[in-house]
């Protein structure tokens, strides 16, 4: 392997909305990611798999999540697409890159099942193996393999986003003992609930969100148009629908001005904490960038940034304060000052998630654009020369494997540890990053019977209980004008293509019934 093979850093945020970053139209202070964007390339139509576990399975394996065994979460449903862990028929990015003498590190969140990161090709790990936990409790974060060096923190000093970065920087320093390149999967659990952040970060945003989610949505859309993230003709979607966890309560997000003032204060604080978590994550990404710069590695390091799904609407406009019961508590007066601290637990609800998905429809869980669209940044000064440009061609998390194989020259295996390996589903993103012409693609989605298929400029989308809807994404990214009745033949053909994909990739069989027609 050539000594000058690039280093690779893949940064994944957790539950970040499409328009949260400053460089994608948000009001949150993200100067470090904004710099990567203006010094690199933004892609506006890269897709994830709608939720944390499936997206991570796709990202790591280069396969659709059901093929990798993680079609939903980490419960084993004893059907091929729903084992709840990465199956032997797939290889991970770490396993492939390690075969080419890369150091392989994961700092952050794993959340793809009981077979952990060390068993799946990572040399070192620090973080959480599950999906979410306190950002303040050091005991929840582990170092693997056991016995490896670990940072110590004094009482009150620990905050997960900082600690994840601390260990990532330690891994990078360790890698410099030889000439081999490194792969760092920097998988932050921010800004996933529980919403928790240092008080000084929260204070920056408490006044910002007093204007409410309706005004925030309008302002974001205008900035997105100015930045050319979306076309000038883009319309803001109506306030979105929401469903509770059991899907027996359904509603629409209310106008901000209709909400009781006490409730508004509670909601403002929730969104301020969420913004603070993103701000702090950006500061930590800045630490990584500076470390690369000081060590002369920035130019020959491919940095990719993305989010694992759309903004989290779980489960109504008010958010919850207890994950088990999804109960909401209205915080008033002195209780507002405690929010975000070590003894609190909050989500921010569907109203703010709607704002964070601006201008797209729906959010995490769904196959509509708001559920599967990630803000995507690529930065690699040696190879990506399109500084500050924006590209609207589609990509997918399945493309990371093909991209890393492409740039490293490492062969993707047909077998691994005696097991036959499924071929890669994705395509290298390098032609897009280089500005070359690329062919039309077909990409498919399914999570919890929420579905989608993207075929060129056309998109067929479906909410579990509803019928399929057909949209022209080129003219209607916000999926507001259902053209199914105008193009019934196209809709039927795309639905058939989706069904064939679902059969091929282990969406079926499942223990639930097939999706209603």
* One-character DSSP codes across 420-444: E-PPP----SHHHHTT------EEE
Burial 181-216 (b: 16+ CB within 10 A, else e): bbbbbbbbbbbbbbbbbbeebbeebbeebeebbbeb
Active site residue 167: no
**Average pLDDT of the chain, as a whole number:** 96
Q: At what angle do helices 212-227 and 349-356 cross, to 10 degrees?
A: 10
- Within a domain: residue 451? no
pLDDT digits (tens, 9 = 90+) for 24-57: 999 999 999 999 999 999 999 999 999 999 999 9
Residue 57 contacts residue 112 (beta carbons within 8 Å):
yes
Q: Name the pLDDT band for 4 (thresholds 50, 70, 90).
A: confident
Structural domain includes residue 247 = yes
* pLDDT for res 517: 38
pLDDT at 342 over 70: yes
Q: Name every residue whose Cβ is closer than 8 Å to that of residue 447 and which is 6 or more positions away in sequence.
A: 49, 50, 51, 54, 65, 71, 72, 365, 366, 367
Q: Which residue among 111, 379, 396, 450 is the active-site one?
A: 111
Q: 389-396 and 124-128 as β-strands: parallel, antiparallel, unpaired? A: unpaired
Query: Which residue of the set 23, 52, 53, 356 is catalytic?
Result: 52
Does the structure show a pLDDT above 90 at 353? Answer: yes
Q: Structural domain tally of the chain?
A: 1
Q: 144 lies in a domain?
A: yes
111 carries an active-site annotation: yes
- For the stretch 482-507, pLDDT in tens is 999 999 999 999 999 999 999 999 99
Contact 374, 47 (CB under 8 A): yes
The answer as to whether 229 is a domain residue is: yes
Asked whether residue 248 is domain-assigned, the answer is yes
**DSSP code, position 453:** E
Residue 200's H or E segment, with its range, is: helix 199-202
Show Cβ contacts of residue 163 under 8 Å, excluding neighbours closer than 6 positions: 126, 138, 141, 151, 153
Containing domain of residue 230, as a range? 7-436
What is the Cα–Cα distance from 371 to 190, expressed in whole angstroms?
17
Nearest to 452 by CA among 475, 472, 468: 468
> Parallel, antiparallel, or unpaired: how do β-strands 124-128 and 103-109 relate?
parallel
For the stretch 422-451, pLDDT in tens is 999 999 999 999 999 999 999 999 999 999
First and final C-alpha spacing in the chain: 51
pLDDT at 1: 37
Digit-coded pLDDT (tens) for 63-100 = 999 999 999 999 999 999 999 999 999 999 999 999 99
DSSP designation for 507: -
> What's the rounded mean pLDDT across residues 270-285?
98
In a domain, 281, yes or no: yes
**Domain for residue 1, yes or no?**
no
pLDDT above 70 covers a percentage of the chain that reads 98
Q: Is residue 517 part of a domain?
A: no
Secondary structure letter of residue 358 according to DSSP: T
| Rounded Cα–Cα distance for residues 197 and 341 (Å) | 7
Compute how many other C-beta atoms are within 10 angstroms of the C-beta atom of residue 305: 26
3-state SS assignment for residue 452: strand
381-411 pLDDT tens trace = 999 999 999 999 999 999 999 999 999 999 9
pLDDT in tens, 118-165: 999 999 999 999 999 999 999 999 999 999 999 999 999 999 999 999
CATH of the domain at 354: 3.40.720.10
- What pLDDT is attached to residue 510? 84
Instruction: Tell me the pLDDT band of 512, cut-offs 50, 70 and 90.
Output: low
């Amino acid at each position: 392997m050539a000594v000058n093979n690039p280093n690779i850093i893949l940064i994944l945020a957790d539950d970040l909305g499409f328009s949260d970053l400053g460089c994608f139209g948000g009001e949150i202070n993200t100067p470090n990611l904004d710099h990567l964007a203006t010094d690199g390339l933004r892609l506006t139509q890269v897709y994830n798999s709608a939720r944390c576990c499936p997206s991570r399975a796709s990202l790591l394996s280069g396969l659709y999540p059901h093929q990798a065994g993680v079609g939903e979460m980490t419960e084993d449903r004893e059907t091929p697409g729903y084992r709840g862990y990465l199956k032997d028929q797939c290889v991970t990015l770490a396993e492939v890159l390690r075969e080419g003498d890369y150091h392989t590190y994961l700092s952050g969140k794993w959340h793809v099942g009981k077979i952990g990161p060390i068993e799946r090709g990572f040399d070192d790990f620090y973080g959480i193996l599950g999906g979410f936990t306190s950002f303040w409790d050091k005991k929840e974060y582990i170092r693997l393999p056991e016995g490896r060096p670990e940072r110590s923190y004094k009482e009150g000093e620990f905050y997960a986003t900082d600690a994840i970065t601390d260990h990532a920087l330690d891994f990078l320093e360790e890698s410099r003992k030889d000439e081999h390149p490194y792969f760092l999967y920097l998988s932050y659990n921010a800004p996933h609930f529980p919403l928790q952040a240092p008080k000084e970060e929260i204070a920056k945003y408490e006044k910002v969100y007093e204007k409410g989610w309706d005004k925030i949505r309008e302002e974001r859309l205008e900035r997105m148009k100015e930045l050319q993230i979306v076309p000038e003709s883009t319309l803001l979607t109506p306030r979105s629908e929401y469903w509770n966890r059991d899907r027996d309560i359904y509603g629409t997000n209310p106008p901000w001005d209709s909400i009781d003032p006490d409730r508004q204060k509670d909601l403002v604080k929730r969104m301020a904490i969420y913004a603070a978590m993103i701000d702090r994550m950006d500061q930590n990404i800045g630490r990584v960038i500076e470390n690369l710069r000081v060590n002369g590695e920035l130019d020959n390091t491919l940095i990719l940034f993305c989010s694992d799904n759309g903004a989290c609407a779980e489960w109504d406009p008010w958010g919850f304060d207890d994950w088990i019961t999804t109960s909401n508590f209205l915080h008033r007066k002195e209780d507002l000052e405690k929010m975000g601290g070590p003894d609190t637990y909050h989500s921010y609800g569907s109203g703010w998630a709607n704002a964070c998905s601006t201008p797209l429809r729906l959010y995490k869980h769904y196959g509509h654009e708001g559920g599967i669209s990630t803000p995507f940044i690529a930065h690699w000064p040696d190879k990506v020369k399109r500084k500050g440009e924006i590209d609207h061609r589609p990509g997918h998390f399945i493309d990371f494997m093909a991209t890393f194989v492409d740039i490293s020259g490492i062969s993707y295996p047909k077998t691994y540890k005696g097991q036959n390996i499924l071929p890669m589903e994705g395509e290298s993103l390098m032609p897009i990053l280089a500005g070359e012409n690329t062919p039309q693609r077909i990409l498919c989605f399914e999570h919890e019977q929420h579905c989608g298929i993207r075929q060129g400029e056309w998109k067929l989308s479906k909410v579990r209980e509803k019928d399929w809807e057909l949209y022209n994404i080129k003219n209607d990214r916000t999926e507001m004008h259902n053209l199914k009745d105008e193009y019934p033949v196209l809709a039927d053909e795309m639905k058939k293509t989706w069904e064939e994909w679902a059969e091929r990739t282990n969406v079926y069989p499942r223990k639930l019934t097939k999706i209603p027609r």
